[in-house]
């Protein structure tokens, strides 16, 4: 279980094991930062797609829209934003592809929440926070806000609003998929002489 799940609980103290987990992650970030081999490699996040016959997966655009609307990143085009979440970072550019301008501790909190919802993977999450958003001390920021009563930054509602919008869109996609399977596929299976197989529709992000 990720330590962030413990932080979601409302209490006034944390166990030694929970604090040690936080410190271990901070130590790992420091080692990664000081390692020449690892720090020279820039990796973007990979936004996890959905399986099935999804035509328009708008979740990435929702993330893009809300980050700008809530004043967390500088305005950026959909193309450049998508590049930061599909594993493509220009190694020749010194500046990160996305500039985080909101409260810095909201960046690691957002990434933790995206990981919790399986939108992104946790691997090298704090190093990617630096490479993608320009946040240099994500693990330290996480340790600091973990001592708050709810284990969250004070402005956590800005992030929860984003996660809620993503969940709503994802539920809509799941509902549409369920309707398709229940109505269309069942009808085609009943008419077996017309059954030629229905290919899955590949998910893509319109506007790229």
In this structure, is residue 202 part of a structural domain?
Answer: no
State the pLDDT at residue 56.
73
State the pLDDT at residue 99.
96
In this structure, is residue 109 part of a structural domain?
Answer: yes
**Structural domains in the chain (count):** 1
Can you name the residues that pair with 173 across neighbouring β-strands? none
State the pLDDT at residue 25.
74
In this structure, is residue 54 part of a structural domain?
Answer: yes
**What dihedral do alpha carbons 77, 79, 83, 88 form, nearest 10°?**
-120
Kindly tell me if the per-residue pLDDT of 37 is higher than 60: no
Distance between CA atoms of residues 49 and 52, nearest Å: 10
Can you name the residues that pair with 204 across neighbouring β-strands? 56
Kindly tell me if the per-residue pLDDT of 160 is higher than 60: yes
Between residues 202 and 140, the one the model is more confident about:
140
Tokens for 11, please give them. Answer: 């209490």
- Asked if residues 169 and 59 have their Cβ atoms less than 8 Å apart, the reply is yes
- Asked if residues 84 and 97 have their Cβ atoms less than 8 Å apart, the reply is yes
State the pLDDT at residue 181.
73
Distance between CA atoms of residues 119 and 45, nearest Å: 10
In this structure, is residue 159 part of a structural domain?
Answer: yes
In this structure, is residue 52 part of a structural domain?
Answer: yes
Q: Which of 57-66, 136-145, 173-182 has the lowest mean pLDDT?
A: 173-182
Domain housing 184: 3-194
Cα angle 28, 30, 36; round to 5: 105
In this structure, is residue 7 part of a structural domain?
Answer: yes
In this structure, is residue 203 part of a structural domain?
Answer: no
The three-state secondary structure class of 110 is helix
Q: For the chain, give the mean pLDDT.
A: 79
Can you name the residues that pair with 100 across neighbouring β-strands? 73
Backbone Cα Rg of the chain: 20
In this structure, is residue 84 part of a structural domain?
Answer: yes
Q: Which of 125-129, 132-136, 165-169, 197-201 has the lowest mean pLDDT?
A: 197-201
pTM over 0.95: no
């Amino acid at each position: 279980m990720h330590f962030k799940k413990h932080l979601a609980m409302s209490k006034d103290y944390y166990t030694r094991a929970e604090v040690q987990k936080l410190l271990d992650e901070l130590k790992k970030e420091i080692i990664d930062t000081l390692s020449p081999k690892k720090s020279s490699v820039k990796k973007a996040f990979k936004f996890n797609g959905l399986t099935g016959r999804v035509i328009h997966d708008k979740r990435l655009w929702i993330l893009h829209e809300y980050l700008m609307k809530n004043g967390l990143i500088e305005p950026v085009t959909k193309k450049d934003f998508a590049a930061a979440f599909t594993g493509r970072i220009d190694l020749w550019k010194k500046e990160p592809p996305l500039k985080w301008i909101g409260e810095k501790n909201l960046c690691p909190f957002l990434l933790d929440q995206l990981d919790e919802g399986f939108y992104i993977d946790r691997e090298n999450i704090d190093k990617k926070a630096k490479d993608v958003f320009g946040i240099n001390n994500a693990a330290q920021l996480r340790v600091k806000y973990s001592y708050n009563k709810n284990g969250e930054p004070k402005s956590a509602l800005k992030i929860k609003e984003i996660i809620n919008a993503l969940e709503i869109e994802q539920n809509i996609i799941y509902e549409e998929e369920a309707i398709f399977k229940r109505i269309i596929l069942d009808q085609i299976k009943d008419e077996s002489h017309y059954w030629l197989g229905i290919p899955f529709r590949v998910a893509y992000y319109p506007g790229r």
